[in-house]
Amino acid sequence: MLQNEVGKCISCGFCESVCPTLPAAGYDLWKGARGRVIMGHELLNAVREGREGNMDISDSFYSCLDCFACLQVCPAGVNAGVVSHLARSLIVGKKIKGNQNPYAEMIVAATMKYMNPLGIPASSDNWAEGLKFDQGSTDVLYTGKMYQLMAYTGGLNRVRDMAGDHVSKLMAGIIANHPSVIRMSASQRDRSFQKQLNNSLRNIVKLLQAAGNHFSYPGPMEPYPGTFLYDLGYLAEFEEYANRVYGFLKEYGAKRIITVDPHTYDLMKHTYPEFVDGFDLEVVFYADLLSGLNISKTDRTVVYHEPCHFVLREDSYSTPLELINRAADTVLAPRNGKRNRCCGGPDELIFPDLSDKVSQERYSELISTGASEIVTACPICLANLSKERKTRDMADLLAEASSL
CATH number, position 24: 1.10.1060.10
Asked whether residue 168 falls in the same domain as residue 244, the answer is yes
240 lies in the same domain as 96: no
pTM of the model: 0.92
**pLDDT band at 147, cuts 50/70/90?**
very high
Residues 194 and 313 in one domain: no
Domain shared by 32 and 147, yes or no: no
- My answer on whether 9 and 88 are in the same domain is yes
Q: For residue 199, report the phi and psi dihedrals to the nearest 5 degrees.
A: -65, -40
- Residue 389's CB is within 10 A of a number of other CB atoms, namely 8
Report yes or no on 296 lying in a domain: no
55-59, 164-168, 280-284, range with the lowest pLDDT:
164-168
Same domain? For 161 and 245 the reply is yes
Q: What is the pLDDT of residue 349?
A: 80
End-of-domain residue from the set 100, 124, 145? 100
Query: Domain boundary residue among 240, 269, 289?
Result: 289
Kindly report the number of other CB atoms within 10 A of residue 273's CB atom: 15
Is the predicted pLDDT of residue 311 greater than 70, yes or no? yes
Flag whether pLDDT at 172 surpasses 70: no
In a domain, 316, yes or no: yes
Last residue of a domain, one of 248, 263, 289: 289
One-letter amino acid for residue 82 of the chain: V
Q: What percent of the chain has pLDDT over 70?
A: 92
Residue 404 has pLDDT above 90, yes or no: no
pLDDT, position 77: 93
| More confident site: 200 or 1 | 200
Q: Both 170 and 255 in a single domain?
A: yes
Q: What is the mean pLDDT of residues 353-374?
A: 94
| 88 and 163 co-located in one domain | no
pLDDT confidence band for 350 (50 / 70 / 90) = confident
**Range in 100-114, 135-149, 167-181 the model is least confident about:** 167-181
Q: Do 235 and 147 share a structural domain?
A: yes
Which positions ≥6 away from 222 have C-beta within 8 Å? 142, 143, 144, 145, 248
Q: Evaluate whether residue 294 is within a structural domain.
A: no
In a domain, 157, yes or no: yes
Residue 134: which region, alpha, beta or left (left: phi > 0; alpha: psi -120 to 50)?
A: beta
Please indicate, yes or no, if residue 295 is contained in any of the structural domains: no
Q: Which has the minimum average pLDDT: 44-58, 307-321, 322-336? A: 44-58
Residue 320 binned pLDDT confidence (cut-offs 50, 70, 90): very high
**Mean pLDDT, residues 286-301:** 93
Print the domain residue range for 36.
2-100
Average pLDDT over residues 143-154: 88
Q: Do residues 144 and 283 both lie within one domain?
A: yes
On whether both 60 and 133 belong to a single domain, the answer is no
> What was the pLDDT predicted at 359?
95
Gyration radius of the chain's alpha carbons:
21
305 and 258 in one domain? no
When divided into structural domains, the chain yields a total of 3
Q: What is the pLDDT of residue 347?
A: 80
- Can you tell me the distance from the alpha carbon of 92 to that of 77, in angstroms, rounded to the nearest whole number? 26
Asked if the model's pLDDT at residue 255 lies above 80, the reply is yes
Q: pLDDT at residue 221 above 80?
A: yes
- Within a domain: 91: yes
Share the mean pLDDT of the chain.
90
Residues 237-251: what's their mean pLDDT? 97
What pLDDT, in 10s, does the model give residues 62-102?
Answer: 999 999 999 999 999 999 999 999 999 998 987 776 677 88
> Is residue 308 a part of any domain in this protein?
yes
Q: pLDDT over 90 for what percent of the chain?
A: 66
Q: How confident is the model at residue 175 (pLDDT cuts 50, 70, 90)?
A: confident
In a domain, 243, yes or no: yes
Residue 284 has pLDDT above 80, yes or no: yes
Spell 92-117 as b/e; 16+ CB within 10 A means b.
Answer: beeebeebebbbbbbbbbbbbebbbb
